[in-house]
Amino acid sequence: MTFQHERLIAHPHDRSGVHRADDAWLAEHWADPEARVLVVSGTRIKPVDGAIEWVSPADAPDGLRVLLGEHDGHTWFAVIVDAEVSRAEQGSWTPLRGALPFLADDALASAPLVFHALGLAEWLWVTRYCPRCGEPLSPRSAGHELACVNEHVQFPRTDPAVIMVVTSGEPGSEDERCLLGRGATWPEGRYSTLAGFCEPGESLEDAVRREVAEETGVRVGEVEYFGNQPWPLPASLMLGFVGRAVSTEIEVDHHELEDARWFTRAEMKELAEAGTILLPRRGVSISRSLVEHWYGGELPGSW
């Protein structure tokens, strides 16, 4: 079974890291009219006619040039301009979350490039001063490093986050159930898998067990790796797991979750067909893939 979230990461680009500090190489490839450029205002992009717009270097505005790499015979860049540009045109620029539906159906398969560009833009946006000496930071290495006058160098960070479908009962049986939760601010009927960040000194499997216990009171024993997905919102890598519950009583924390429920396959199918349960959008999130992996096929409806 091919999972829909894999479409977003199915066509990775060569990040050309060895060329990031090569000014001559960068200038030569920027001068190529076939190079493609994504314009980013602060941390936002501007879809045009329902698609991500890539322009030629000649049509790109002045700004910080970020090398994304090479893909499909072209060199790809991003240019990061002042956030005031998007503020002045409210409604036409969107953060990455708003662009995800376009990426799911992108014929150019440019999602990894957009993730790369906006992940760096988010990091550059929030990382202004050196954490060691407090001096201002300046970009170098085609936007992939920040350095202060004291030569303290900062690199982009990625926070590991676990996301899991938790199951209970005999695997594959009619009585097997999966555990989903809903956030306190979500619209009625919206449910998803549980998720959370890995803490310092913690294994990924233990992060799964801790997050499920904290949010729902359910205890998890065996944890099996499923897959992963970049999630630069703003700087995460989502690591998917399937956990087997060793207890089933739910005690919702009412801090992160409003509700958590066990669903059999029959219940989930009935509710999804009726539209009374809304699952994460197919093709965008690994959460939907985890649910449909457990269910054994596609389900109707989405957020």
pLDDT one-digit tens code per residue, 3-28:
656 666 667 899 999 999 999 999 99
Tokens for 241, please give them. Answer: 């797991």
pLDDT, position 284 = 76
Same domain as 253, residue 281: yes
CA distance 269 to 10: 28
| Cβ contacts of 208 within 8 Å, gap of 6 or more | 162, 164, 220, 223, 241, 243
Same domain as 177, residue 125: no
Cα 86–chain centre separation: 22
Residue found under tokens 């990775």: 12
- What does R_g of the chain's alpha carbons equal in angstroms? 21
Amino acid found at 101: P
**Residue at 284 is within a domain:** yes
Same domain as 183, residue 138: no
CA distance 106 to 8: 9
pTM: 0.88
pLDDT, position 107 = 54
pLDDT, position 48 = 87
Q: Residue 91 sits in a domain of what CATH number? A: 3.90.79.20
Same domain as 265, residue 194: yes
Final residue belonging to a domain, choices 127, 154, 181 = 154
Final residue belonging to a domain, choices 90, 119, 154 = 154
pLDDT, position 255 = 86
Give the mean pLDDT per block of 10 residues along the chain (303 residues): 61 94 98 97 91 94 98 96 88 87 69 94 96 97 98 96 97 96 92 96 98 97 96 91 98 91 96 92 86 93 71
Same domain as 193, residue 136: no
Domain span at 32:
4-154
Total domains in the chain come to 2
**Residue at 302 is within a domain:** no
Question: Secondary structure of the chain: what % helix, strand, coil (to 5)?
Answer: 30, 30, 40
Three-state helix/strand/coil letters over 11-33: CCCECCHHHCCCHHHHHHHHCCC
Q: Residue 210 sits in a domain of what CATH number? A: 3.90.79.10
**Residue at 228 is within a domain:** yes
Final residue belonging to a domain, choices 154, 185, 201 = 154
